[in-house]
Structure 1
Amino acid sequence: MKTFLQRFLLFCFIIASGVIVVILVSNFIINSKINYTFSSKKNILILGDSQTQCALNDTVFNNAINLSESADTYFYSYLKLKKIIPHNTQIDTLFLAYAPHNVTKTQDNWLVDESINGFKLPLHFFLFESSDLFNFAKIAPLQLIKNYPKVVAKNASHLFRIYKKNPINKFGIGGYKALFHELGESNTEKPASILQKKQTQYATTDLNYLKKIYNYCTNKKIKIILIATPFNQEVVGVDKPYLNKYITFAKEEIPNATLFNYSNYLMEKKFFADDVHLNHEGAKVFTKMIKNTLKLKLHSKIKTYNNDF
């Protein structure tokens, strides 16, 4: 029995070691072959969750690249930022999703959520540096182990994308998402209802990564614009319990960032896919407005705190 157990443990060790070697080698190949470089005309990077993913159309905003992704925490945005910037020194501005709900404990819960990490961790693993791996191991160690087989599969698909010479926004780690339905056409639960269920405690772990993003951009002399995208007027104020923390955190912890809070920006219902996401037509209108706003305010020292809910 003892011999059987020893052989079984040895077998498990060999398999685990083999998987780790495959992951490390594939990560090395991906990062040595992948093309992180954008057009020299792309000087604006957009990161964040589904709100910026659906609201800022980078075909309209033609000097920007949108790598926002649904349910992205600041941890995953930080991973992308560190890989993208060294290959794109022309980037001088970062648009980063920052709405009142982003300061809640829900952000920390997303970091350890099994379903979210089940698809995000394998997709983003090639972006991990050793320090990121160590930090994630402290956040959700069991999920790191559990998702290793998925990492192998996703790395294989990334290698195929490299072979096909796909751009970075085709690797599943973010990109503008066009929603073609209008508010009321979907039978799924409204995101506003989901927001109301968010915990009122404030985030800790993920907000540390927001500060890391801020410090990184400050060191690289990249202007940060924090942006909250429009809500349907019927649900404006759903995030009001977090507003004070939202404003205070921006002023005290990331003081040189510019805050564009368009949560209560008036747009017709026909421009919404649901209560908190713009549809494709809405994104066109909103993106054009932001593009024009930048022409007036990009080089201004005035911060926009539009917080009248």
Structure 2
Amino acid sequence: MHRFVIKTVTFASAGCLLVLAIALIPGYMVSKFSKFSIKKDNTIVIFGHSHSECAYDDTLIPKLTNLSHSAESYFYTFQKVKKYLSQNPQITTVLIEFSNNQIAPKMDDWTWGYTYMSNMFPQYASFMGVSDFKLLAQHNSKYFMNCIGIAARSNLIKAISFNYNYTGKTGGYFKIEGTKPLPSINPAGQHVKASPNESTISATNIQYLRKIVDYCNGMHKNVFLIRSPQHPLYEFRSNEAEFSLIRQRYFSDIKFLDFNNFPLKNDEFADFGHLNYKGAIKYSTFIKQQIMNGMLASPPAHSLKSFENKQLVTFNH
């Protein structure tokens, strides 16, 4: 009986070790051999969610690579930033889309909600730290282990096929052809009114934006926050006061390039939050010119306010 128990325990332990090895070794291989490449002469990258994904046609902006991805919270962007910056030393400048909905509570769902986590976690699990795993486990323990299993299978497939190349699979410019019918705007510009119910924020998303900024600074990159155009009637513009307060409180050390009010016609928007290809062409051409004019230079801190005011004056003409 004693010998049977020993054999059973030994067999169970061996099985657990085998399962653990199958789960961990492929993850280590993916972490070690993963490839995140951009063109060698591209020195500017932009990260963000669908707003920047649809706004920046990087075929029209020299030396810029758009690495934005739809429905991506800063938690997952952080994992991506670490890989691209460490593997592409030619990158000198990092732009990070920072728009109104990125402080909203729904960003929490984009981070640990099962639909989003089961999609994004397997992609980036191999590059996360212990604190990242702990965060997801604390907020959605019910489905976290399920996502661990999905990630393990994904990594095993990558390891077996020796497919460690993430290039072209982590985001890019997304061209939208059409537009939804949008209401007309009066000449003065018709903005949504602030809602007293929109007072909560995603502390996690703000925290990870700070992590991204600090990582970029640690890698000695020029880093900017940038806001692409949003329709005046976009619902999340109602939190503008809170958005401005958060920016000033936590990111006052980072230059903010604000193109929220860049003049676009209704038929240049795909919907209230996204540009279609016509809007992207117009806006990307403008951004190209601004970069050529020195927009991404690092001016003295005292000149930052006058620069932003100049851009706003330009939009009003």
Q: Shorter-chain TM-score: which interval?
A: 0.7 to 0.9
Show the 5 A alignment for 1:104-183.
Answer: 104-156=104-156, 158-159=158-159, 163=163, 168-170=167-169, 173-183=170-180
1-structure distance, mates of 2:115, 2:13 = 27
Contact preservation (8 Å) 1:47, 1:96: yes
After TM superposition, give the deviation of residue 218 of structure 1 in Å: 1.9
- State whether structure 2 residue 182 is matched by structure 1 residue 203: no
2-structure distance, mates of 1:280, 1:166 = 28
After TM superposition, give the deviation of residue 123 of structure 1 in Å: 2.1
Contact preservation (8 Å) 2:224, 2:254: yes
Q: Per-residue CA shift, 1:87-146, capped at 9, x if unaligned?
A: 112212111111122122222232221211121112222332344323433333332201
- State whether structure 2 residue 297 is matched by structure 1 residue 299: yes
After TM superposition, give the deviation of residue 239 of structure 1 in Å: 2.9
In the alignment, which of 243, 251, 254 is matched to residue 254 of structure 1?
A: 251
1-structure distance, mates of 2:105, 2:215 = 24
SS in 2 for 1:231: coil
1-structure distance, mates of 2:52, 2:250 = 22
After TM superposition, give the deviation of residue 11 of structure 1 in Å: 9.5
1-structure distance, mates of 2:14, 2:226 = 48
- State whether structure 2 residue 219 is matched by structure 1 residue 220: yes
Q: Which residue of 1 aligns with 2:278?
A: 281
Q: Which residue of 2 aligns with 1:96?
A: 96
- State whether structure 2 residue 42 is matched by structure 1 residue 45: no
Question: How well do the aligned residues superpose, as a CA RMSD in angstroms?
Answer: 3.4
2-structure distance, mates of 1:178, 1:66 = 12
> Size of the alignment, in residue pairs?
289
Q: Which residue of 2 aligns with 1:86?
A: 86
Contact preservation (8 Å) 1:78, 1:209: yes
1-structure distance, mates of 2:85, 2:95 = 13
Q: Which has the larger radius of gyration?
A: 2
Contact preservation (8 Å) 2:102, 2:205: no
Change (3 A) 1:12 1:56: farther
- State whether structure 2 residue 236 is matched by structure 1 residue 239: yes
Contact preservation (8 Å) 2:109, 2:116: no
2-structure distance, mates of 1:265, 1:184 = 20
After TM superposition, give the deviation of residue 216 of structure 1 in Å: 1.4
Q: Per-residue CA shift, 1:288-309, capped at 9, x if unaligned?
A: 2112112222114225377899
Change (3 A) 1:23 1:280: farther
What amino acid maps onto 1:245 in structure 2?
A: E
1-structure distance, mates of 2:158, 2:260 = 36
1-structure distance, mates of 2:11, 2:242 = 52
Change (3 A) 1:12 1:70: farther
Gaps of 5+ in 2: 1-7, 183-191
Q: TM-score, normalised to structure 2's length? A: 0.78
Change (3 A) 1:240 1:40: same
SS in 2 for 1:26: helix
Change (3 A) 1:200 1:252: closer
What amino acid maps onto 1:228 in structure 2?
A: R
Gaps of 5+ in 1: 1-7, 186-192
